[in-house]
Amino acid sequence: MKEVAIIGAGVSGLSAAFELSRQGIQSVVFEKSRGLSGRAATRRRGQICMDHGANFFRTTDPEVAHLIHETLPSVDLVEIKGDVWTFDQDSVISPGDPEQNKQPKYTYRQGISNLGKLLQAASGTDVQRQQRVKRLIDKEQKWELENEVGDSLGQFDAVIVTAPAPQAAQIIVDSILQNNIRDSLIQALQQARYDPQFAFVIGFTDELRLQKRFHALVNQDGQHPVSWISFEDDKPGHVPNGNTVLVIQMSPSWSSRHLEHNPEHLLPQVLEQLSCLIPEIDQAPDWWDSQRWLLAAPRSAVDTTNLQQAESCGIFFAGDGLVGRGRVPLAIKSGLATAKKLAAGK
Ligand SMILES: Cc1cc2nc3c(=O)[nH]c(=O)nc-3n(C[C@H](O)[C@H](O)[C@H](O)COP(=O)(O)OP(=O)(O)OC[C@H]3O[C@@H](n4cnc5c(N)ncnc54)[C@H](O)[C@@H]3O)c2cc1C
With 0-12 / 13-18 / 19 or more C-beta atoms within 10 angstroms meaning exposed / middle / buried, residue 336 is buried
Output the CA 245–ligand 1 centroid distance in Å.
Answer: 23
Q: Could you tell me which residues are beta bridge partners of residue 79?
A: 106
d(CA 103, CA 94): 18
Q: What is the pLDDT of residues 45-70, one digit of tens each?
A: 999 999 999 999 999 999 999 999 99
In 3D, which of 152, 188, 195 has the Cα closest to residue 173?
A: 188
Instruction: Give tens-digit pLDDT for 96-144.
Output: 999 999 999 999 999 999 999 999 999 999 999 999 999 999 998 899 9
| Residue 30 CB–ligand 1 contact under 6 Å | yes
Looking from the CA of 284 toward its CB, the CA atoms found within 13 Å total 5
Q: Is 32 in the pocket of ligand 1 (CB under 6 A)?
A: yes
Which comes out higher in pLDDT, residue 332 or 81? Answer: 332
1 pLDDT tier (thresholds 50, 70, 90): low
Report CA(205)–ligand 1 centroid distance (Å).
Answer: 30
- The answer, yes or no, to whether any atom of ligand 1 lies below 6 A from the CB of 54, is yes
When pLDDT is averaged across residues 198-222 and rounded to a whole number, the result is: 92
91-117 burial, b for 16+ CB within 10 Å, e for fewer? beeeebeeeebeeebbbbeebbbbbbb
pLDDT tens across 291-328, in order? 999 999 999 999 999 899 899 999 999 999 999 999 99
Please give the number of the atom of ligand 1 that sits closest to the Cα of 293: 53
- Say if ligand 1 is within 6 A of residue 33 CB: yes
Q: Is 119 in the pocket of ligand 1 (CB under 6 A)?
A: no
pTM beyond 0.95: the answer is yes
User: Are the CB atoms for 205 and 165 separated by under 8 Å?
Assistant: no
132 lines ligand 1 (CB under 6 A): yes
Using the CB atoms, write b or e for 290-303: b if 16+ within 10 Å. bbebebbbbeeebe
Please state, in angstroms and rounded to a whole number, the distance separating the CA atoms of residues 302 and 19.
23
Q: Which domains does the chain have, with CATH numbers?
A: 3-38+116-193+299-344 (3.50.50.60), 79-108+195-296 (3.90.660.10)
pLDDT confidence bin for 346, thresholds 50/70/90: low
Cα-to-centroid distance, 40 and ligand 1 (Å):
6
